[in-house]
Amino acid sequence: MTKTALFIVDVQGDFLPPDGSLMVPAGLLVKPAIISLLTDPKYKWDYVVASQDYHPPGHISFASSHPGHRVYSDIELKDGRGILYEQKLWPDHCVQGTKGCEIAPDLAAKIAERGDTAKLVRKGWHKDVEAYSAFDGYLTDFSNPADPPSEIDPQPARKIVQWLRDQGVTKVVVAGLAAELCVAHTALSAVASRFQTAILQPATRAIEERDAEEQWDKLCAVGARIIGRANRPRTLRWEDELDQWLAAEKAGAWPEWKNKNNGTA
C-alpha cells in the first residue's frame, strides 16, 4: 500500500514574523493550512517529518562568521566535507537553544500528538556544513530528539531515504518555509530519490515570489506536482486537488526501487 509522509519544513521562530532574523514576510500564513493538514481527520499521513534548521554559533552560512562580507552577499567556500560551493551569507538564525530555533509552538504541539509517527530532521547542525533540504540532516524522534552525531555524514540523505523506503513510503508532500529555498530543495531531494512528490503551495510562502515561481517550474519539469499553484487557471480547490493526488495510485509510475523489492517492501 502507498504510504505518505508529510514534510513540514522549517516553521521556526527566525523564519517567522514578527521578529525572526530571517523572516518570510507572509510566513505566518502557512500555519492555518498546516494545522488543517494535521488536524482534519480526512488526511491520513502515515508519517509527519518536521525539519529544523539547527545551527551552532559561528555557522558557516552566517555573514558574521566571515568578517568583511555582507549579509546576503555570495561567497565561495569550502565546507567541512571539502566541497567547494557558493554560499549566500545569512544573518545569524536558528541557533541551537535559542527561541528563533524553536518550531512554532502551536504546530509543534500538534505534531507531537502523533507520537512515534512524528519525526524530526535537524539540519545544518555541523558548524561547517550548510543544508537546505530536509533530507540533508539527521533523523530523530520529534518528541525525544537525539543529540547531533559526532561526525559529519557525507551523504545524510541516504539514511533518510532508506528509512522512508523501509516504512513503505512512496509519496511525499512538502509544506513550510521558505518556499524557494528549503521547501524547494526538500522537494527536489524527494524527486531525486524517486518519491512521488507534491508541494502544497497554500502551505508554503516565499521570501521572493518570483524565485519560488522559478523553482516550481523546475520541479514541474522533473515530475513534481505543485498543488494549489497561485496565478494559474484552476478548476479545483487545493483541498480537492490534494485529495485527488493522494488517492491516485498512478499505475505504471511506481518508483523503480519498489518494483525491485516486490514482495518484501
Chain residues binding Zn ion by CB under 5 A are 53, 124
Contacts of 52 (CB under 8 A, 6+ apart): 10, 12, 94, 101, 103, 120, 121, 122, 123, 137
123 is catalytic: yes
Sorted by sequence, the CB contacts under 8 Å of residue 90 that are 6+ apart come out as 22, 61, 62, 63, 71, 72
Which CB, 100 or 124, lies closer to Zn ion?
124
CA distance 151 to 135: 17
In the complex, minimum distance from the CB of residue 133 to Zn ion, in angstroms, rounded to a whole number: 12
CB of residue 207 vs Zn ion: minimum separation in angstroms? 13
**Which member of 110, 119, 123, 171 is catalytic?**
123
Of 53 and 180, which CB lies nearer to Zn ion in the complex structure? 53
Beta-bridge partners for 175: 8
Q: Does 10 participate in catalysis according to the annotation?
A: yes
162 touches 189 (CB < 8 A): no
CB of 55 to Zn ion, least distance (A): 6
Q: Based on the residue annotation, tell me whether 136 is a catalytic residue of this protein.
A: no
With beta carbons less than 8 A apart as the criterion, state whether 210 and 37 touch.
Answer: no
Is the Cβ of residue 181 or residue 212 nearer to Zn ion in the bound state?
181
Cβ 53 to Zn ion shortest distance, Å: 4
Q: Which is it for the CA torsion 253, 2, 138, 89, positive or negative?
A: positive
Residue nearest to Zn ion (CB): 53
Q: Which is nearer to Zn ion, 63 or 242 (CB)?
A: 63
Backbone angles phi, psi at 253, to 5 degrees: -110, 20
Among 53, 110, 119, 182, the one annotated catalytic: 182
Which residues are known to be catalytic? 10, 123, 182
